[in-house]
Structure 1
Amino acid sequence: MIELPEAATLARQLSAAFTGRTVASATAGQTPHGFAFYNREAAEFGPLLTGGAVGRAAAYGGVVEVPVGAFRLVLNDGARLRRLAPGTPRPPRHQLLVEFDDGAALACTVQMYAGIALVEDGDDVGPYVRAARDAPSPLTAAFTLDHLRGLVAQAPARASVKELLATKQRIPGLGNGCLHDIAFYAGLHPRRRIETLAPRDLVHLHATLLAVLRRMTDDGGRDTERDLHGEPGRYPTTLSARTQGLPCPRCGSAITKQTFLGGTIYFCVRCQPLP
């Protein structure tokens, strides 16, 4: 799934690959998918995209936005993007395929669920994209300790660390994937209630959150995800499905997996104790 580090990586790669190119043709909805959410009829994408010049892509939280002519192509969540070189066979199944004037193409397939939107200025992009655009990014100086304190103050006192960090779009682009390494290096159990956090815990959490997300981004995303060219990210996840049951790098205890808040959590029982 696209989270903040992957969105930033994809935007950079899309800009390098397609800026200045012109769309030769486009097809949306060729392969039906019950959880591919288009903002308009799929048949409209081709005529609206064709002939459009591509601008520099941008990332907002976990959202990737590509200017094409008078429109912006907005992609998020499980939108798996791949650049296809000229002459490369096109995948038979896809939810969006954009061909360019140089013979290259962009293919989008949906993993689990994804938003695929084509919008103009003034269009309602929905609360998810609005939140991603408007909220301070942890990759910038705008995400201050006071901002994190404000998020804690607005959340229910009995909310968990996972609920604070990875739900309700409080921190756009930070989801259940990035959560685990942040919580691990902050020494906080994902189930821990935020009402038990001392001021020093929040200081440490803020610094850890910024450092981990910056490293994930600088390394081209997590090793559990793939980039525009099909390569895995270079950030080695400490806690993920890949490391479940392996020794904790700090204490040697087995990394534990549990189900919590509608998803999976990974943690070390010794390094992330519950109070």
Structure 2
Amino acid sequence: MATIAFIGTGVMGRSMAGHLLAAGHTLHVHNRTPAKAQPLLDAGARWHATPGAAAAAADFVFTIVGFPQDVEATYFGPAGVIAAAKPGTVLVDMTTSSPGLARRIAGAAAAQGLVALDAPVTGGDVGAREARLSIMVGGDEAAFEKTRPLFEKMGKIVIRHGGPGAGQLCKLANQISIASVMMSWCEALTFARRAGLDPARVLESIGSGAAGSVAMSVLAPRALKGDFAPGFYVKHFLKDLRLALDTAAELKLDLPGTRQAQQLYDEVARRGGNDDGTQALFRLYAERG
């Protein structure tokens, strides 16, 4: 059994940490909003007031926070992880963040006798609850193998893609793909509604064929019911799209579909949808129509 610190117990992290706790591991937790950690504390986790205090108690440190600036503060702040963790600790950032920041964390960790992995996930709130996330990992291979049994408590697909930053690059590829998928089902169902069809019945007809996707099968039914509660926040998806476009620019690569998705989600955010789920894009199409 491992001693684990888990920092970030929001929509995703609370379920992910819960699987580790349920497996019998000792869990130390920190979250900016203590109330969001309460279910884990009720189940036996131990609370710490700072990321560093949680990290100091653990052999593995997992983080999943909101934005790259949150990652930076968590790792490099005065009460941060790198300054407090014991030599030999494995640090695992599961936030979708900058590949460059992942490489910087790995370098700073190594200088302190630590090892860092970047391991963003996909699968949304349902995948987190059901422990069937896809986990994309970058970093040292030996540290990856050491951490694999813990990854496998949270996800079904666990793949190392290369050195530091490689997990983040894979996750950005995932978000690039999702960006166009989200536009596609929103446009298809908006078209169906305007043409006089019942979009729910159209979804039933096309959702299991070549047009189908997880986004269509999970998010489209929510949108049709007017349920825009976040499984994955618009504000976080916008962050991911910006990271993808910035990285694409460094690679001298044009991604027109991703640029269009960013413009549409920027409008969702301007209309007050930052804290809605990504399926709120469908509402934008309806309001425009």
User: If the length of structure 1 is used for normalisation, what is the TM-score?
Assistant: 0.30
The structure with more helix, counted as a fraction of residues: 2
The structure with more strand, counted as a fraction of residues: 1
User: If the length of structure 2 is used for normalisation, what is the TM-score?
Assistant: 0.29
Higher relative contact order (CA 8 A, sep 6+): 1
